[in-house]
Structures are given as C-alpha cells and as structure tokens.
Amino acid sequence: MLYYLIKRIAFGALVLLGASLITFCIAFVIPADPAVAIAGAKADPHTLATIRAQLGLDRPLYVQYVRYLGRALHGDLGRSYARRQSVSGLIVARFSATAVLAVCAMMLSLVLGTLGGLVAGAYRGRAPDNVLLTLSLTLVSIPVFWLGTMFLVGAAAYVRWLPLGGFDGARSLILPSFALALGSAGYYSRILQANLAEVVGQDYIRAARAKGLSPARVMLHHALANAILPLVTLAGLDFAGLLSGVVLTETVFNWPGLGRLAFEAVFNLDIPLIMGTVLFSSFLIVMANLVVDLLYAWLDPRTRLA
Amino acid sequence: MRRAGPNWLEMVGGAIALSLVVLALFAPQIAPHDPTQAVAQTFGDPGPPSLAFPCGTDQLGRDVLSRLIYGARVSLIVGLSAMAVAMTVGVAAGLCAGFFGGWTEMVLMRITDVMLTLPGLLLAMAFVAILRPSLLSILLVISLVSWTGVARVVRAETLSMASRDFVLAARALGASAGRLMIRHVMPNIAPTVIVMAALSTSGTLLLDAGLSFLGLGVPPPTPSWGRMVEESQIYFRTAPWLAFFPGLAILYAVLGFNLLGYGFLRRRHTR
C-alpha cells in the first residue's frame, strides 16, 4: 500500500513538473514585452532594462525556468501586472468560492448520474432505457453556458426567491451547481448503465437471483456495488472537465471564483496571473486524481496488489 | 450472418450532421436575409419572434434565423478541421507509442498525461488570447488540447493488435514498421478511430462554442453561435429568445455528432 502511495505521488509530481513547463511556455509565445506591460508604453529604455534585470528576463531561458519553478514551489507565483498584487494571494482569495461550487456540482452529478444509470440499467433494452439514453446524450451535448443562461431566464421569470448571480449563501449555489452538474450527470449515468449491463451477466448475479433475492436487492446490493467503482476513477478524470465548465459557469453567474479570475487574466493579457491560474488548476486536478486513486485502492483491494 | 442496417442513433445523428453540412454549404440560398445587415425596424431593442422573423431580430435589427444559418459555417469549419488535426496527431502518436513501445511510448504517453491534467478550456483561452483570435489560431489551439484522448485510446488498441499473429506474420515476411502500422494495424483499429472522430467532433464544437462565448471566437462580423449567446446575456430578461435559439443550435450540432458516435459504438458491440 505504501509503495502504491509513493508511486502515485511521484507520478503526480512528475506530471505537475510537465504542466509547469507548458505554463512557462505561455509566457514565451507572447509577443508583448513584460517590462513594457509593467512600466507602460512610454517608459524610457533605461527603466525597461532595469525591470528586465529585476525580473531576470535577461538571463537564459533555462535559468528563468528553474527560478520560476523554485519560486512556485515556495508558493510564489509572481505579481499580477494588471492588479499589482501577488498571484498566489489572488488565487487563495478566490479559491473557496470555486471549491464550494465544484464540490457541490460534483456530488450532485454523481447522485443524479447514479440514479439515472440505475434506472436505465434496471430497464435495459426497454422504453425507459432508450429515453434515458436520449436524455443523457442531450445533457452531455448541452453547452454549460447556455444551460446557465436558460436557468437565469427561467428563474428571473418564475422563481423570484433565487438569486440571479454572485456568491451569497446557499441559495445562490442552486442554479450554478445544477448548470454545472447536469452534463457530467448524463455522462456518469451512461457509464454506470454500461457497467451494470456487464456486471448483470455474471455468475454471482445469477446466483443472487437464484437464491430468491428481490430484483431491487440484487441491483442495489450486488450489481451496483461493483458497477459503481469505475465511476470513482471517472469522476477524478472528469475533474479537469469540471474546471473548464467552472470557467463558463462562473462567467454566466458572475461567481467570484478562480474561473472569473482566469477570464479576467486572459482579457488583460496578465501573464503571471494566466500562468498562475493554469498551474494551480493542474495542481488541483493532480490532487483530485491522487485522492481518487487512493479512494479506489481503499474500495477495491485488488488494485493494491497490482 | 445478416448485416445490420444503421441503428436509430446513427440515422438521427447522420441526418443532423447532413442537415448542418447542407445549411453551411447553401447558407446564402437558404437564409431569408443578410446576416450582417439590419432588416427590421429597431430602436436598439431586439424584436420578438414573428412570422417574418421566426427567431426574432437582435438589438441591431438583424435576422436571428439568418445569423444562425450562417453560424453553421464557422462552427462546422472549426469543429471538423480541429477534429481532423486532433485525430491525425492523436492517431499518429497513439500508433507510434503502441507500436514501438520503449522510450517512444514513455515520452509520448507522459506528454499525454500532462496535457490531460491541464484544464482544456483554460489552456485554450490562454493560447487563443495570446495568439489573437482568428480562424487558424482557434482551430490549432482546439486541436492542441483535443488530441490526447485520441492518442490514449489508439495506443491501447494498437498494443492489442501489435502482438496478433497476422502482424507477427507480416513482420516475419520483412514488412517495414511503417507498412505494418499502415497496412496491418490501421485497418483493424479503424472502427475505433471512426467512433473517436464522431465523439471528438462534438468535443471540438463545444470547445469552440465555449471560446466564442468568452469572446475568444472568430472575430465579428462573422456570425458565431457562442458569441450570439454571449451578446444576448444583457437581454436575458427582456429578450430571452436571443439566447435561446443560438444555444439550441449548438445543442443540435453537438447532439448530432454524439448520436453518431454512440450509434457507431453500439453497432460494434452488437456485432
């Protein structure tokens, strides 16, 4: 188990190193000069040269990368050009709003996806299965920003007590989490249905049926327990997609989280903030995958031996 | 054995995809109005759907239906070409990784792992903003973040093929690596590649829509569905149809390719 844990952590660290290399590249495909971005277009050459030296921009690329990496490891992601604040400070300030939204949406999508998958699995090949297939494919195909906008339209017209944007208490969470969750829910229900179909054909299910257990008990206690495992891995992998959805959802609902921060950074071409948000998001994704791997090992002892 | 005809998923998905291609190709003939010109009397207010304008008119008095029809062009061009680039890169990387193994596989698959831990949309936003939005930059960036999933699947399929007897036999006859990959492995993983192509088109379409919703799409005045939703945000109380129809168009296109992909998938499983 310990060996497995160390292996996963080392892998995560390696992947993050690669991610840092790619984020570092962002800064170098940019045609704009960071020194000009800080000092303004009218700065004299001497000032610009001083700033470049201060930022280490006159050093070779690999030196700059190692410095960037060293600072990032200490939690220093540089200073935002546009806001003139530390990037890590900005990220920390916005993190909680995104975390609340992402966790809510994740749980909601797992619950809805499990329900949908169970119903589809129970009625395999019959009308509800095809209805649910169409429904889940539709959910997967809905652009999240449009679903959010339609929720706003509906809430503005019919549900007066729901806030239409911003992060202000539990009620303000309802619309954005549903907008964010429904797409993944459709995806999970598809996967669960497919897993159930595979599990149901196996001997131990036939044995459970043969000893006279009710179909509901066979489904919930025997089939679901095995079919739901891959969903855990999937939810971890899907976390990257969830974060992409967060950017769009936060824009629609004016949610004060990381997604909006990244959006603003991109619009101001605020390079340190762009690099910081991308790197931090990949850190979150690596962490989510690590948690899922451990959860999986705990749920399914077979993986620990592998 | 009876060869099964197309299932309902393939038929509906295929019909949707075909209708999109027709709309995009014959937009000037089908669209009732010029998508970039004001055709309705307007005083800065969007017009509701009516007989003359079935999807209403926007704040500049342009016909929404015509803009939707022309919007199919950009969506299809970006969606399909980004898919083609992503598939080419993904299949090539997956084939090489699965076939050669060793260092090639190590390097290619670690790159894939890294790309998969970066949030696609965020990375695409950053690169499009830096390169400035244009048809080419959007297309390339979407391909850049979409090829990795394909590479993984193709690698797994190639691995299972590369040790089969017919490949070994061809190798024993002295076939070159390139010939083995293209003539022997490729045809056998083609069904998977077709499924992936349909499913990744829905992915590239959604990414393109998301980017243009964030203002990083193909620049105006070219009509694009994502931007139409974004521009309608401020009218969501007074003119909800402005956001409704373009979003529905995105859903229609994405759903079409998803249906097609799942239809192909189901055909393979029932065989």
Q: Lowest mean pLDDT of A116-120, B1-5, B55-59, B165-169, name the range.
A: B1-5
What percent of chain B is predicted at pLDDT more than 70?
96
How confident is the model at residue B17, as a pLDDT? 92
How confident is the model at residue B143, as a pLDDT? 93
Q: What is the CA radius of gyration of chain B?
A: 22
What residues of A are in contact with residue B152 (Cβ under 8 Å)?
none
Query: What is the 3-class SS of chain B, one letter each residue?
Result: CCCCCCCHHHHHHHHHHHHHHHHHHCHHHHCCCCCCCCCCCCCCCCECCCCCCCCCECCCCCEHHHHHHHHHHHHHHHHHHHHHHHHHHHHHHHHHHHHHCHHHHHHHHHHHHHHHCCCHHHHHHHHHHHHCCCHHHHHHHHHHHHHHHHHHHHHHHHHHHHCCHHHHHHHHCCCCHHHHHHHHHHHHHHHHHHHHHHHHHHHHHHHHHHHHHCCCCCCCCCCCHHHHHHHCHHHCCCCCHHHHHHHHHHHHHHHHHHHHHHHHHHHHHHC
Look at residues A249, A243, A258, A244 and name the one whose alpha carbon lies nearest to residue A174: A249
- Which range scores top for mean pLDDT: A12-26, A221-235, B68-82, B167-181? B68-82
Per the CB < 8 Å rule, is B131 touching A29?
yes
- Is the C-alpha dihedral spanning B148, B151, B157, B163 positive or negative? negative
CA distance B196 to B179: 23
Report whether pLDDT(A34) > 70. Answer: no
CA distance A234 to A244: 16
Cβ of A303: how many Cβ atoms within 10 Å? 14
Query: What is the 3-class SS of B134-160, one letter each residue?
Result: CHHHHHHHHHHHHHHHHHHHHHHHHHH
Q: Lowest mean pLDDT of A12-16, A119-123, A164-168, name the range.
A: A164-168
- What does the CA dihedral A187, A189, A195, A199 come to, rounded to 10 degrees? 180
Residue type at B165?
D
State chain B's mean pLDDT as an integer: 85
Per the CB < 8 Å rule, is A240 touching B210?
no
Cβ of A105: how many Cβ atoms within 10 Å? 26
Look at residues B221, B215, B249, B255 and name the one whose alpha carbon lies nearest to residue B65: B249
Report whether pLDDT(B62) > 50. Answer: yes
Collapsed DSSP state (helix, strand, coil) of residue A169: coil
Give per-residue burial for A191-212: e unless 16+ CB within 10 Å, then b. bbbbbbbebbeeeebeebeeee
Vertex B106: Cα angle to B104 and B108 (nearest 5): 65
Per the CB < 8 Å rule, is B206 touching A289?
no
CA distance A88 to A79: 8
How confident is the model at residue B165, as a pLDDT? 82
Per the CB < 8 Å rule, is A137 touching B255?
yes
Among A17, A141, A191, A270, the strongest candidate for a mutation testing the B interface, having the largest count of B CBs within 10 A, is: A141
Among B10, B115, B130, the strongest candidate for a mutation testing the A interface, having the largest count of A CBs within 10 A, is: B130
Per the CB < 8 Å rule, is B125 touching A251?
no
Per the CB < 8 Å rule, is B114 touching A262?
no
CA distance A298 to chain B (A): 23
Inter-residue contact A193 to A120 (CB < 8 Å)? yes
How confident is the model at residue B117, as a pLDDT? 81
Look at residues A184, A64, A152, A285 and name the one whose alpha carbon lies nearest to residue B116: A285
Residue bearing the bigger pLDDT, B33 or A104? A104
Report whether pLDDT(B2) > 60. Answer: no
Residue bearing the bigger pLDDT, B106 or A33? B106
What residues of A are in contact with residue B244 (Cβ under 8 Å)?
150, 153
CA distance A174 to chain B (A): 19
What residues of A are in contact with residue B213 (Cβ under 8 Å)?
143, 145, 248, 251
User: Residue A86: beta bridge partners?
Assistant: A79
Per the CB < 8 Å rule, is B229 touching A278?
no
Q: What is the pTM of this model?
A: 0.87
Per-residue pLDDT, averaged over A177-200, amounts to: 86
What are the tokens at A226? 């095995």
What are the tokens at A172? 């303000």
C-alpha separations of B110 from A224, A236, A242, B117, B154 in Å: 33, 18, 22, 11, 15
What residues of A are in contact with residue B230 (Cβ under 8 Å)?
145
Per the CB < 8 Å rule, is B129 touching A137?
no
Residue bearing the bigger pLDDT, B15 or A237? B15
Residue in B110, B117, B258 nearest the CB of A285: B117
What would the pLDDT profile of A57-110 be if each residue is shown by its tens digit?
767 777 777 877 877 777 777 777 777 788 888 888 888 888 889 889 988 999
What are the tokens at B264? 């192909």
CA distance A300 to B7: 37
Interface size, chain A vs chain B, as Cβ–Cβ contacts under 8 Å: 146
What percent of chain B is predicted at pLDDT more than 90?
28
Look at residues A261, A245, A101 and name the one whose alpha carbon lies nearest to residue A165: A101
Report whether pLDDT(B145) > 70. Answer: yes
CA distance A305 to chain B (A): 22
What would the pLDDT profile of B210-258 be if each residue is shown by its tens digit?
999 998 888 877 888 998 898 888 887 788 888 899 999 999 999 999 9
Residue in A19, A241, A274 nearest the CB of B114: A19
DSSP state, residue A211: T
The domain defined by B64-270 carries CATH number 1.10.3720.10: yes
How confident is the model at residue B210, as a pLDDT? 92
Q: What is the CA radius of gyration of chain A?
A: 24
Residue type at A34?
P
- Which range scores top for mean pLDDT: A47-56, A78-87, A211-220, B187-196? B187-196
Look at residues A252, A260, A233, A272 and name the one whose alpha carbon lies nearest to residue A98: A260
User: Residue A79: beta bridge partners?
Assistant: A86
Kindly identify which residue of chain A lies nearest to residue B213, measuring between CA atoms.
Answer: A145
What would the pLDDT profile of B171-213 be if each residue is shown by its tens digit?
888 878 888 888 888 888 888 899 899 999 999 999 999 999 9
What residues of B are in contact with residue A14 (Cβ under 8 Å)?
110
Confidence grade of residue A21 (pLDDT, cut at 50, 70, 90) = confident
Per the CB < 8 Å rule, is A156 touching B237?
yes
Confidence grade of residue B1 (pLDDT, cut at 50, 70, 90) = very low
Per the CB < 8 Å rule, is A149 touching B236?
yes
